[in-house]
């Protein structure tokens, strides 16, 4: 790694709205700067996501920043995402500050001015610490850059750019239409002082012949008096981890010949869906997400994912018939595996005497595993190295959960994993039925191979290296962005931010 590169000012990718591609664009630039000999790091002051990750220190951040750190070739750290909001219902979020939960707040409580400066101080200090260690900092904004009703309490967009003295690139999604209005309107709604920080416009998700938008580029630059640094086509054949689970149900592709059918039960509060990214890309597997009873019962393997509200999601599964379909499929020979909240649901019952997740004291589980769980206030967050079923191969994963699980009386003690610190994890009933608290367990090839062995007679392909695949995708993404963005202009902007 070259450490003698000139210090670059931070760059922020802010959006005209949500889901315009800021996270993936930020990951791309992390990899580009790494390729160009810099030592970059990602930063997002405030993230709202159910998809979180445990840092090496055992603290919690948004998964998007962990992905961006991976693209930058570095370990993730809470300074990259000091404030994380994890929705536990439509109106209430768990607030995680510097990797540790500090309580739950509804939207009105969270966005009040009282106490806001304490959060602002915390996220600013996290950025300051990060900037001393890395060059450059790639900052991601949140939602729209122009939520004028939230201007005084905003922590993540222009106030952060101003604190960081960052060059802001406004990202717009042309695929959803209205790109001229969204770009021009976003800029015009900023104050005159705020507009000075907008140094470039990036048009994302373009479909068709880019030459047809050349006049559009000129119109935008004339209107806004800001250069368009690039028009990035909608990329196909590239796979980068997504931040949100809103598109999961659309992944119900038709099963291919010679593949194993794997269903992830679609929960209302599903979290850490990246647990299944390896399987989704594994050519041996057809993976889909569903809460349809027929689709669940037709699967070879049923995966019950993590949940931000285990009690609520278990109640839904019992109410809508999915619980019964899982039990039926299990009795008919299908594999059933639970991860974190899904592991808890597989037991005899889930108890919540302190009403941490709601008003239900206790709810019967699926009764597949001889375990019982009690939800507790204490949150376990850590990275783990472990042995899967006594194997000598070292596996890696992480835990993020609230609650303790124990084996019921008279049941055999049968852990699935043994961690390298000497503790046990999960419960193993047989090759077709087990559960674990470890997220990322399916990123380990030994676990995947074990999972699909009973269905090997269906396969036409036998191996897949996920780590190598991800590195290839980051490099392809960087190449894609380089070919459609004026990187000379980007570097000029970052080297002359005070001009």
Catalytic residue positions?
A: 340, 439
Q: What single string gives the DSSP state of each residue in 222-291?
A: HHHSS-EEEEEEPP-S-----S--TTGGGG-PPPPTT-EEEEEE--TTEE-GGGGHHHHH-TTEEEEEE-
* Sequence-ordered strand ranges (E) for 107-227: 137-140, 167-173, 198-206
**135 with 7: CB under 8 angstroms?**
yes
Quick one: 482 exposed, middle or buried, by C-beta within 10 A (0-12, 13-18, 19+)?
middle
Phi/psi region, residue 208 (left: phi>0; alpha: psi -120 to 50; beta: rest), is left
User: Alpha-carbon distance 398 to 75, whole Å?
Assistant: 14
Cβ neighbour number for residue 162 with a 10 Å cutoff: 14
User: Alpha-carbon distance 348 to 344, whole Å?
Assistant: 9
Tokens 């994993």 found at: 417
Strand 60-62 relative to strand 394-407: parallel, antiparallel, unpaired? unpaired
Strand 417-419 relative to strand 285-290: parallel, antiparallel, unpaired? unpaired
User: Alpha-carbon distance 249 to 258, whole Å?
Assistant: 23
Nearest alpha carbon to residue 338 among 371, 385, 362 = 371
Residues whose CB falls within 8 Å of the CB of residue 427, separated by 6 or more in sequence, listed in order: 343, 369, 370, 371, 405, 407, 414, 415, 416, 434, 435
User: Alpha-carbon distance 108 to 347, whole Å?
Assistant: 36
Distance of CA 154 to the CA centre of its chain: 22
């Amino acid at each position: 790694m070259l450490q003698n590169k000139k210090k670059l000012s931070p760059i922020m990718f802010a959006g005209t709205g949500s889901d315009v591609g800021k996270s993936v664009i930020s990951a791309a630039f992390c990899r580009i700067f790494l390729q160009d000999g810099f030592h970059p790091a990602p930063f997002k002051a405030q993230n709202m996501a159910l998809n979180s990750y445990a840092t090496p220190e055992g603290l919690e951040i948004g998964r998007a920043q962990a992905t961006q750190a991976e693209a930058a070739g570095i370990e993730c750290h809470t300074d990259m995402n000091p404030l994380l909001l994890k929705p536990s219902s439509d109106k209430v979020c768990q607030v995680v500050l510097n990797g540790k939960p500090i309580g739950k707040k509804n939207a009105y409580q969270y966005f009040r001015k009282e106490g806001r400066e304490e959060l602002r101080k915390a996220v600013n200090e996290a950025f300051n610490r990060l900037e001393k260690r890395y060059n450059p900092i790639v900052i991601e904004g949140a939602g729209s850059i122009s939520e004028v009703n939230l201007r005084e309490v905003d922590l993540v967009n222009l106030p952060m750019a101003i604190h960081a003295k960052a060059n802001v690139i406004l990202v717009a999604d042309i695929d959803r239409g209205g790109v001229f209005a969204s770009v021009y309107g976003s800029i015009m709604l900023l104050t005159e002082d705020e507009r000075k920080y907008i140094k470039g416009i990036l048009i994302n998700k373009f479909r068709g012949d880019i030459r047809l938008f050349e006049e559009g580029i000129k119109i935008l630059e004339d209107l806004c008096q800001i250069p368009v640094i690039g028009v990035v086509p909608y990329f196909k054949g590239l796979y980068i981890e997504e931040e949100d689970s809103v598109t999961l149900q659309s992944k119900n592709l038709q099963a291919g010949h010679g593949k194993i059918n794997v269903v992830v039960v679609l929960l209302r509060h599903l979290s850490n869906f990246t647990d299944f990214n390896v399987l989704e890309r594994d050519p041996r597997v057809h993976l889909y997400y569903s809460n349809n009873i027929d689709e669940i019962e037709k699967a070879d393997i049923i995966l019950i994912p993590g949940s931000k509200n285990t009690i609520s999601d278990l109640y839904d599964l019992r109410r809508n018939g999915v619980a019964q379909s899982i039990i039926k499929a299990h009795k008919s020979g299908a594999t059933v595996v639970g991860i974190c909240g899904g592991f808890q649901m597989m037991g005899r019952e889930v108890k919540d005497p302190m009403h941490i997740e709601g008003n239900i004291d206790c709810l019967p589980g699926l009764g597949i595993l001889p375990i019982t769980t009690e939800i507790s206030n204490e949150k376990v967050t850590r990275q783990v190295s472990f042995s899967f079923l006594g194997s000598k191969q070292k596996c890696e994963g992480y835990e993020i959960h609230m609650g303790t699980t124990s084996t019921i009386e008279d049941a055999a003690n049968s852990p699935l994993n043994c961690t390298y610190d000497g503790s046990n994890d999960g419960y193993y009933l047989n090759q077709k039925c087990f559960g674990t608290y470890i997220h990322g367990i399916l990123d380990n090839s030994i676990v995947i191979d074990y999972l699909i062995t009973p269905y090997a007679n269906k396969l036409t392909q036998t191996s897949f290296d996920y780590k190598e695949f991800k590195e290839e995708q980051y490099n392809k993404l960087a190449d894609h962005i380089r070919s459609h963005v004026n990187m000379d202009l980007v570097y000029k902007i970052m080297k002359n931010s005070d001009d």
